[in-house]
Every structure is written in structure tokens, then in C-alpha cells.
Amino acid sequence: MAYLNSTLKHVIYMKPPEGAKVPKGKAYRVVKGLYGLKQLGQKWNMEFDKFLRRSNFHRLNCAPCIYTRGKGDNFAIVVIYVDDMLIIAPNLETVRHIKEEIGQRWRMEDGSNVSHFLGIKITRNREAKTMDLEQTSYVKQLLDEHLDKCRRKSCVLLQDIPVPETAASIAERKEYPQIVGKLLWLSNGTRPDISQAVGVLARYMAQPSREHYNAAQKVLQYLDHTRDIHLQYGSNKQQDFLMAHSDANWASDATAQRRSSSGSAVFVCANLVAWKTVGIDIGIPTIFSDNTGTIQVSKDPAQHWKLKHIDTKYHFIRDNVQDGKVRIKYINTVDNLADLFTKPVGKDVLQRA
């Protein structure tokens, strides 16, 4: 019911429902949120954001759905996704206090200790100080709906997509984006191991071929054999607080105009907290400029002294390395966990990751 709390600024009228006694030629003006309005999600988010900021919460720039407040025992994190919300704090008193603040403004349901959030099952082991995030039920539902029962064989993740030669059937073209969309949700949730394969499949949503559909089935087969894989987070103070892996794969995909890709994985105390795989367009851009001086400088590599302002901006990483704020270390490809976000890898690499 959260959407109904939104306040609308635009003038919107609605046709009266059947049975409503409204004078002829008149209509209702909508002044509060009403399900069916396209802008309702944004309006509710703005309403809740305004409330949290007034309550001294700080919104993270890197993750706009996360808010923080306080320090020490009073530190708290609020996570919102549409009208679902998580409150995280080191003690129950802080959690109760935040619930009371929100409850004074809106009516809310108290979900007590969280066991599921956005379809992700959350299991805590307080003795071992671990937390498991898994989507086994989602995987089962996905396989029941889309996996060809005759293909439950391979446990190897997608390697390469053959060059498209056969047109997909109408049913396959309709089902393909459904499969890929669900795989994207899974890869962004608790299955980073399929991110690279799903990223490749997503490039062909508009016009998939039979080869693309078969490749999607290959990913489903892999999930069928690895449905219990999940993320586990624990307390590990022996590891570096922040570590990152990165990798790039140059012009590897023959079916995508030799498009390159890059991937990264970020760990906090050896716990995976962020991962990404993206395609890189290696085409040569054309930049038009009416400044002949700029063009001359850009073409003359000898005029380094004129580029001090550019050096300052683009040598930021080098400066931080020299100042000891960032460490860059070599890692062998065999041990680089970001490798699985840029290229197809074998079963042994996936198991090690």
C-alpha cells in the first residue's frame, strides 16, 4: 500500500468507476498515489527519500537504495527496493527506534527477523558468524519453466556461441528473452558465476537465432547441476579489508563485431560484495572541435608541457599508488577471479572460484 502515500504534483484526472455518482462532464482529480500511474514508483521513492534525509540518513552515491546513519552502536543501514525495506543495525534497540520513526509517518508491516528479501533466502549462523544468500527455489522454478527436459546432461557452462545460421522458431524467439531476463536477475543476485555467459546472451535479445536459444539452454543445464551454489559471507579479519580483481578480454566475440569485454570483482574481508561484466565498444570515435589549438595539441605528442591539467586528472591512479593509498599487484591469470566475468572458463575454474 506504499504507493498510495505518494503526493502528486501534476494535474491528473481519472474517469469515475461504474456506480459512482458524478455530475455529467465531471471527473475525479487524482491528488494522491493510485496504482496504475506510471510515475508512482518514482513519486513514492522521492517521498521516502525526503523522509529519510530529514531523519538524518545519508544516501550512498554508489547505491542510491542504501541509506546510513549514526556511528558505533547507533549505526544503522536502511535498504529500500520499491516498497520493501531492510533495517540493519548492531543492536535491536536501534532497529526498534527506526521502526518507530517510520511507523509514526506511515503504517507498516513488521516483518521481524528477515528470512527472505527480493526472492533471496537469507540464512544466518550466529555461532559461526556467517550469512548465506541463495536462490535455490528461484533456480528450480526457472528450470521447471524453461529447461528442455531432454537436455539434462551437460554441467559445463556456455563456452562460445556458434555463428548464427538457423532462424529460431516463433516459440523460441518468444521464450528467449524470458529466459535471459530471469538469468540476469539470478546473475545479479547470488550467481556471479553465470554473469559472463548471461551477458553474452543478452546481446541478442532483439533477434535470437536457434544457436542463441541452444546456448541459453546450455546455461540452464549448468544451473541444473549447480543449483545449490550460493554466496556465503563471514567474519574474516585476517584478510585485507578491501581487494579487487579485474580482467579484460580483447575482441574475443566473433559474433559481436569483435567486441571486447571487461570484468571486475570486489571483496571486503574476503567476501564478494560487487561484480560486473561489461562489453566494450572498440570502435574509433570521431570528435568534432572548433578549437584548432586543441586539435593541434591532441595530434602532437611532443607538447607534454601543455597537458598538465590532463595529466593531473588522468594520472590520479598513479598518484594514489605513489602515495601508498592504493596497491596494484600482479596476479596470475589462473588465480584472477575476475577472469570468469570476461571469457568462458572451464569447470575447474568455476569450482575454484
Q: What's the whole-number mean pLDDT along residues 86-102?
A: 92
Sheet containing strand 76-81, edge to edge, reads 58-59, 66-69, 76-81, 84-88
Q: What is the mean pLDDT of the chain?
A: 81
Confidence of residue 309 (pLDDT cuts 50, 70, 90): low
| Most confident among 72-81, 278-287, 321-330 (mean pLDDT) | 72-81
Query: Looking at the whole model, is its pTM more than 0.85?
Result: no
Task: Identify the band that residue 285 occupies on the pLDDT scale cut at 50, 70 and 90.
Answer: low
Domain boundaries, given as residue ranges, for the chain: 2-112, 134-225, 239-344
Task: Tell me if 2 sits within 8 A of 44, measured CB to CB.
Answer: yes
The predicted pLDDT at position 122 comes to 95
pLDDT tens-digit profile of 171-198? 888 999 999 999 999 999 999 999 989 9
C-alpha cell read off for 82: 520499491
- Contact present, 328 and 319 (Cβ < 8 Å): no
- Predicted local confidence at residue 299, as pLDDT: 55
β-bridge partners, 28: 14
Q: According to the 3-state scheme, what is the secondary structure of 46-68?
A: HHHHHHHHHCCCEECCCCCCEEE
Asked if 198 contacts 251 with a C-beta cutoff of 8 angstroms, the reply is: no
As a whole number, mean pLDDT of residues 203-218 equals 90
**pLDDT tens-place string over residues 43-82:** 888 889 999 999 999 999 888 899 999 999 899 999 998 8
DSSP string, 108-120: -----S-SEETTE
pLDDT tens string 231-250: 999 987 677 788 888 888 76
- Could you tell me which residues come within 8 angstroms of residue 185 by beta carbon, excluding any fewer than 6 positions away? 119, 138
Mean predicted confidence (pLDDT) in 213-235: 92
Half-sphere exposure of 210 toward its Cβ, with a 13 Å CA cutoff? 5
Which has the higher per-residue pLDDT, 11 or 151?
11
Q: How far apart are CA 113 and CA 88, in angstroms?
A: 10
Angle at 278 between CA 277 and CA 283, to 5 degrees: 150
pLDDT of amino acid 25: 83
